[in-house]
Amino acid sequence: MEKEITIYDIARELSISPTTVSRGLNNHPAVNKSTKQKIFDAAAQMGYRSNAFASNLRKKRTNTIGVIVPLLNSNFQSSVMAGMEKVANEAGYNLIISQSLENAQKEIANARTMFESRVDGLLVSVAYDTENIDHFEPFFSKGIPLLFYDRVPEHKQCTSIVINNIQAAHKATTHLLEQGCQRIIHISGNHRINVYKDRLKGYKYALMDHNIASREDYIIETDLSEKAGEEAVQKILEMDPRPDGIFVANDNCAVSCIKALKQAGIAIPDDIAVVGFNNDPITRIIEPNLTSVNYPGYEMGEVAVRSLINYLDGVSDVSITNTITLNSELVVRESSQKKEKAKARLA
Amino acid sequence: MEKEITIYDIARELSISPTTVSRGLNNHPAVNKSTKQKIFDAAAQMGYRSNAFASNLRKKRTNTIGVIVPLLNSNFQSSVMAGMEKVANEAGYNLIISQSLENAQKEIANARTMFESRVDGLLVSVAYDTENIDHFEPFFSKGIPLLFYDRVPEHKQCTSIVINNIQAAHKATTHLLEQGCQRIIHISGNHRINVYKDRLKGYKYALMDHNIASREDYIIETDLSEKAGEEAVQKILEMDPRPDGIFVANDNCAVSCIKALKQAGIAIPDDIAVVGFNNDPITRIIEPNLTSVNYPGYEMGEVAVRSLINYLDGVSDVSITNTITLNSELVVRESSQKKEKAKARLA
DNA sequence: TTGTATGCGTTATCAA
DNA sequence: TTGATAACGCATACAA
């Protein structure tokens, strides 16, 4: 391990003060052009690299953004990360990423680590079983900006970036109704989580708006896994009269439903129409292609980091306590478009 | 922004020296049990948090691992990230992640950032158009461990974690041959990249081992995108005699091929059998389900970080200059299993 | 078992 | 436009 070059070495080399070297390297306006040039040249020639720790220690700023995500390996979350990384990188911020693995205890530990790492700001999508957000209290009390996205806590007033899940689910359900569906199942995720709670609401509101009473046995709460899809289909097939539409709260589970339904000899969409949520690439692979709500993950990541950085730079005047809602739209594909005769039969 | 508590504050509070506080917090053995307890209690009560920068500045170590990845939002890479994060987190390391976006220039910039961030070690999967690895020279000369995974450079002797792509491709091609295929196309990625180069080799070797001459027009070099799959299929359908097997270097493109083939009325696998690479979840969604080489991304991520940390801790004696090869196996599904009569017809 | 003194590399403050 | 000095918070060599 050879010796690291410091601004003192450069200063000595050029017979100027370390202060001037520091200023020169940081492009301070009050430094003579030619001096600045000499400094840059010497730095490059001597193989200098700035020491971020010394700088951070002094400036009390890390240029680092923390991210706590439930699971990295999902299409949605990895798209979000990609968007976040792009903006952060362009703005000169580092991204420290950790996963809670859908476990509140891990999330608490991660939050502590992020706090100790002194991130300038934190982006969080909460774990499946996170009950409260006390573990983020240190961030609030220290005034470190904290921004939730996608899975956001309900009870606290905190900045969050979301889509309008109620509206999106309302559209999805309405679409099924317009296709002639009369007995629509909703396969939902954990109702404690805002996104699934809201999707359920949107489903109910849509039924209500069409003067259809929602039935408890038509609402199936699951973990949205593949297995859950198969099990839900079993239940559905035993119902009499048989449901004619399913709105599933994510694509993975919706695809699993379609596979199970096809195996049981059910025609999709004519016997049962299916709509998913997320617009993952698999929607275009399953047959029939899955109608789904487009969820702009990449864009959400971009917006999240941009908002945070704007706040850190003091650019955004708006209070940090608010909600940013991204647009989402229903992408209609074959899995939900009943043929006219099917519609007629149902009518 | 209230004042941060430091070890000096704790020391003053307890009327002991900062040195003892520092030792106590770090669980130094030579500190009185009760003193230690007092220190911990005071720290907790006063809301102390250690300052990693001051500590790093002193220790010249960051407990941070850098990762440069081509694109975050692919099934394979996000699985790798998930595995990396898990191990790093458990070992108390932070992960700084950046994407090259398949662009050598970005990769160079990222490498510089990682270097300036003084990561303890770096994990890299190189970009599509990375021609050389001069930009990692600073790491080599400073003795910072650098470990390549998946996409590894060829010309330099450097530590890398890979699967045996030649062997895997050999198995895949042999499987097609055993199904009775006689005219097997290989849709490949950029030949400059080790993984695609090796898969091509494995394909050629397998043909050779069955005394079949490989034909240049049967090897289609693409970017493995969906579009590339469609275009390749157009070419294939114009060939006379028509090929009866396709080995594609990734699943995404393989799925796109299957879709295009089906649209053209080709029966899979009986007219043309298809094998992919990666064993992405989509292999189980496309119909027929896609035969593919299982590529253990999560495991690769775990192994990569574990190796790096072992080296950093001085646990592993083995030279850092070597190669770790993970196992991979062929997962046979419907897309390649010709029915007996199809096999017979071909025989 | 505890304490004193010092340095890690940078930047803010004040002065020139 | 430049410089001297101190401070950021911690960990360690050395001393007690």
For chain B, what is the HEC assignment? CCCCCCHHHHHHHHCCCHHHHHHHHCCCCCCCHHHHHHHHHHHHHHCCCCCHHHHHHHHCCCCEEEEEECCCCCHHHHHHHHHHHHHHHHCCCEEEEEECCCCHHHHHHHHHHHHHCCCCEEEECCCCCCCCCHHHHHHHHHCCCEEEECCCCCCCCCCEEEECHHHHHHHHHHHHHHCCCCCEEEEECCCCCHHHHHHHHHHHHHHHHCCCCCCHHHEEECCCCHHHHHHHHHHHHHCCCCCCEEEECCHHHHHHHHHHHHHCCCCCCCCCEEEEEECCHHHHCCCCCCEEEECCHHHHHHHHHHHHHHHHCCCCCCCCCCEEEECCCEECCHHHCCCHHHHHHHC
- Report the distance from CA of residue A22 to the C1' of nucleotide D4 in Å, as an integer: 14
**A17-38: pLDDT as tens digits:** 889 999 999 888 888 888 898 8
> What are the residue ranges spanned by the domains of chain A?
7-50, 62-163+297-327, 165-295+330-346
Two structure tokens written together for A205: 């509101």
**Contact status of A51 with chain B (Cβ, < 8 Å):** yes
| Rounded distance in angstroms from the CA atom of residue B335 to the C1' atom of nucleotide D14 | 73
Distance, Å, A53 CA → D12 C1': 18
Cβ contact, residue pair A79, B62, below 8 Å: no
pLDDT tens per residue, range A285-321: 999 999 999 999 999 999 999 999 888 877 665 555 5
Long-range contacts of A192-197 (CB under 8 A, 24+ apart): A192/A131, A193/A126, A193/A128, A193/A151, A194/A151, A194/A152, A194/A153, A194/A154, A194/A162, A194/A165, A195/A150, A195/A151, A195/A162, A195/A165, A195/A249, A196/A249, A197/A154
Which has the higher per-residue pLDDT, A314 or B200?
A: B200
Residue A107 has pLDDT above 80, yes or no: yes
Q: Which nucleotides of D are covered by protein (CB under 7 A)?
A: 1-5, 7-13
How many angstroms from the chain centroid is the CA of residue A50?
A: 34
Which nucleotide lies at the shortest CA–C1' distance from A49?
Answer: C9
Nucleotide D15 C1' to residue B19 CA (A): 13
Can you give the pLDDT at residue A310? 87
- Binned at pLDDT 50, 70 and 90, residue A76 comes out as very high
Provide CATH code, domain A62-163+297-327.
3.40.50.2300
B interface mutation test: which of A72, A225, A227 has the most B CBs within 10 A? A72
Mean pLDDT over each residue of chain A, to the nearest integer: 91
What is the pLDDT at residue B158?
79
% of residues, chain A, pLDDT over 90: 66
Q: Which two tokens stand for residue B24?
A: 């106590």
**Average pLDDT, stretch A254-279?**
97
Mean pLDDT (chain B) is: 91
Place domain B165-295+330-346 in its CATH homologous superfamily: Response regulator (3.40.50.2300)
pLDDT of residue B212: 96
Contact B180, B347 (CB under 8 A): yes
The pLDDT of residue A141 is 81
**A99 — contact with chain B (CB < 8 Å)?**
yes
pLDDT of residue A63: 86
Q: Residue B316: its pLDDT value, please?
A: 63
- The pLDDT value recorded for residue B4 is 82
Token look-up 């932070």 returns B94
Q: In this complex, which of B79, B89, B142 lies closest to A73 when CB atoms are compared?
A: B79
Does any strand C atom come closer than 7 Å to the Cβ of B42?
A: no
Give the integer Cα–Cα distance in Å for B117 and B123. Answer: 14
Q: Do B82 and A99 touch (CB under 8 A)?
A: yes
The answer to whether the Cβ–Cβ distance between A75 and B73 falls below 8 Å is yes
The domain made up of B7-50 is a member of CATH 1.10.3720.10: no
User: Is B300 touching A (CB cutoff 8 A)?
Assistant: no
How confident is the model over B102-159, as pLDDT tens digits? 999 999 999 988 988 889 999 999 998 888 899 998 888 888 889 999 999 876 777 8
For A3-17, write each residue's pLDDT tens digit. Answer: 688 999 999 889 998
Q: What is the pLDDT of residues A123-174, one digit of tens each?
A: 999 998 888 899 998 888 888 889 999 999 876 777 899 999 999 999 999 9
Asked whether residue B56, judged by its CB, lies under 7 Å from any atom of the DNA or RNA strand D, the reply is: no
Among the residue ranges A311-320, B3-12, B237-246, the one predicted with the least confidence is: A311-320
A259 interaction partners in chain B (CB closer than 8 Å)? 285
Instruction: Assess whether pLDDT exceeds 90 at residue B249.
Output: yes
Q: What is the pLDDT of residue B1?
A: 43
Residues A95-99 have a mean pLDDT of 93
B297-312 helix and B75-90 helix, angle to the nearest 10 degrees = 40
User: How many CB pairs below 8 Å do chains A and B form together?
Assistant: 125
Residue of A nearest to B251 (CA): A285
Residue B342 scores a pLDDT above 70? no
Residue A173: per-residue pLDDT: 98
Asked whether residue A58's C-beta has any atom of DNA/RNA strand D within 7 A, the reply is yes
A190-245 pLDDT per residue, tens: 998 999 999 999 999 999 999 999 999 999 999 999 999 999 999 999 999 999 99
Same fold, B62-163+297-327 and B165-295+330-346: yes
pLDDT band at B319 (very low <50, low <70, confident <90, very high): low
pLDDT > 50? residue A1 = no
Tell me if B72 and A52 make a contact (CB, 8 A cut-off): no
* Pair of tokens at residue B148: 């390549």
**pLDDT given at position A322:** 83
Name the residue with higher pLDDT: B198 or B315. B198
The reply to whether B108 touches chain A by the CB within 8 Å rule is no
Is the minimum CB–CB distance between A143 and chain B shorter than 8 Å?
Answer: yes
Q: Using 50, 70 and 90 to split pLDDT, how confident is the model at B99?
A: very high
B285: nearest CB among A64, A82, A286: A286
